[in-house]
Amino acid sequence: MKKILVVEDDTVINGNIVEALKAEQYQVQSAYDGDLAERMLKREEFDLIILDVNLPSKSGFEVCKSFRKMNTQTPVIMLTAFSELEDKVEGFESGANDYITKPFYMRELLLRIHALLKRVGSTTSQQSQQIVFAGDIWVDKKNKVVKRYDQVVKLTPREYQVLIKLIEANGELVTKKELIAEIWGRSFEANTNTIEVYINFLRKKIDKAFDRSSIQTKVGYGYYFNAKK
């Protein structure tokens, strides 16, 4: 089921769009201001975003520009009460894929959504495999970039590998032996203190620097990643 984020501060319009999308069997989430939308886009993945231009806190243009810094593939449809060419140009320059002017027919919006999802479906799938979210952590696997709260966290290659292994376990326990085998290879002769050292390095950069405690220990077994802490 495709997942769509609707960012519109008019509660009636927002509700109408959500209702129409759910009738088309889409999974839908809503936001009513730019700041909230930006936070949601950093911690969750969506297949398409419907984004109003005039929002409290941050404009749709600002939200779209910020989103495009971490995701260039997911389609964005911008909504506006204006029809001037300058607004459309700014919308496209911000990274929007399409633009629709209020008032609009819901059927027209749905047709545009269908067309965009069909056009970028395969590309979005490939891109989503390269971008990993874990709570407020965002990882670009292609370029080996890690961010927390939109701040780049500089990791060594080994630290990065440990982090990815923990995140991709989706909260499941990862033993020290599994980490050694995955990162150093099964022929690597070392005691589990090697992993403890890297876990400590990683905690300082990923958790302590942001007053979080995502990397958890299960004594005698291993580690797991809790995205909520």
Indicate the fold that domain 135-225 takes in CATH: Arc Repressor Mutant, subunit A (1.10.10)
For residue 121, the model assigns a pLDDT of 60
Name the residue with tokens 């966290």: 153
- More confident position, 127 or 49: 49
pLDDT at 141: 85
> In this structure, what DSSP letter does residue 221 have?
T
The distance of Cα 101 from the centroid of its chain, to the nearest Å, equals 27
What is the C-alpha to C-alpha distance for residues 124 and 129, in angstroms, rounded to an integer? Answer: 9
- 87-91, 116-120, 186-190: least confidently modelled range: 186-190
Give me the mean pLDDT over the 57-78 stretch: 89
3-state SS class at 108? helix
CATH number of 3-129: 3.40.50.2300
Angle between helices 11-23 and 106-130 (to 10 degrees): 70
Q: Are both 3-129 and 135-225 of the same fold?
A: no
The token pair at 15 is 């509700």
Three-point CA angle 114, 5, 80, nearest 5°? 80
Q: What percentage of the chain exceeds 70 in pLDDT?
A: 89
Q: How far is CA 36 from CA 7, 105, 125, in A?
A: 9, 27, 25
In angstroms, rounded to a whole number, what is the distance separating the alpha carbons of residues 53 and 87?
9
Q: Is the pLDDT of residue 98 over 70?
A: yes
Residues whose CB falls within 8 Å of the CB of residue 96, separated by 6 or more in sequence, listed in order: 51, 64, 76, 77, 78
Using 50, 70 and 90 to split pLDDT, how confident is the model at 22?
very high
Percent over 90 (pLDDT), the chain:
51
Q: For residue 189, name the pLDDT band (cuts at 50, 70, 90).
A: low
**Count of beta carbons in the 10 Å neighbourhood of residue 48:** 24
Q: What is the DSSP letter of 103?
A: S
pLDDT at 76 over 70: yes
Q: Look up the pTM and report it.
A: 0.57
**How large is the average pLDDT for residues 15-43?**
94
The residues near 58 (Cβ < 8 Å, ≥ 6 apart) are 33, 34, 35, 37, 38
| Residue 179 confidence (pLDDT) | 85
How many CA atoms within 13 Å lie on the side-chain side of 223? Answer: 26
pLDDT classification of 129: cutoffs 50, 70, 90: low
The pLDDT of 202-228, averaged and rounded, is: 92
Q: Is the pLDDT of residue 202 over 90?
A: yes
Query: How long is the chain?
Result: 229
Mention every residue, 6+ apart, whose C-beta is less than 8 A from residue 39. Answer: none
CA distance 28 to 2: 8
pLDDT at 71: 81
Q: Cβ(76)–Cβ(117) under 8 Å?
A: no
Taking residues 126-152, what's their average pLDDT? 81
Return mean pLDDT, the chain.
86
Sketch the domain layout of the chain as residue ranges.
3-129, 135-225
